[in-house]
């Protein structure tokens, strides 16, 4: 196996969402963001189930929460929205790419956060937006 020396993470990788997609579908940038009112320049993903759960639970939609196993089809970088000063060293193993992600599987069973935890996070995010601090570096 010929692996690049500068690979940030070998995965597996996950993408949490409420979109209903099929195995083999591509997740691509330039779709409306769940966290800001604009198209996102990147597609975001993680190598931790915990971060993927938050992605699914906080996504804008009333559809079913889903976590897909994904394969990056190009280069990717640390997600600056949760690394650097917030979480030095990227413990959430969160990444973003301008290249598509290919869906290779869907996790059918996973334990979601409690409604109390989700509502607390939603309240926290609303407070940040109201204070003008909910900046997404995209």
Measured distance CA(16)–CA(25) in Å, rounded: 14
Q: The whole model's pTM is what?
A: 0.83
Beta bridge partners of residue 101, listed in sequence order: 27, 72
Each of the 138 residues of the chain gets a pLDDT tens digit; together they read 334 446 678 889 999 999 999 999 999 887 766 666 667 789 999 999 999 999 999 888 888 999 999 999 999 999 887 776 666 678 889 999 999 999 999 999 999 999 999 999 888 888 877 887 666 666
Residue 117 located in a structural domain: yes
Residue 53 located in a structural domain: yes
What does DSSP assign to residue 104? Answer: E
The tally of domains found in the chain comes to 1
Residue 138 located in a structural domain: no
For residue 96, the enclosing domain spans: 13-130
Q: What is the CATH number of the domain that holds 64?
A: 3.20.170.40
């Amino acid at each position: 196996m010929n692996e690049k020396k500068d690979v940030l993470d070998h995965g597996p990788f996950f993408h949490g969402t409420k979109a209903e997609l099929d195995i083999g579908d591509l997740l691509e940038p330039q779709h409306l963001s769940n966290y800001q009112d604009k198209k996102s320049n990147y597609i975001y993903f993680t190598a931790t189930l915990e971060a993927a759960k938050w992605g699914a639970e906080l996504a804008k939609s009333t559809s079913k929460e889903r976590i897909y196993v994904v394969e990056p089809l190009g280069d990717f970088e640390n997600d600056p929205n949760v690394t650097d000063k917030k979480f030095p060293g990227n413990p959430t193993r969160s990444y973003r790419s301008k290249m598509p992600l290919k869906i290779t599987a869907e996790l059918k069973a996973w334990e979601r956060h409690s409604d109390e935890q989700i509502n607390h996070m939603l309240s926290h995010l609303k407070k940040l937006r109201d204070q003008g601090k909910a900046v997404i570096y995209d």
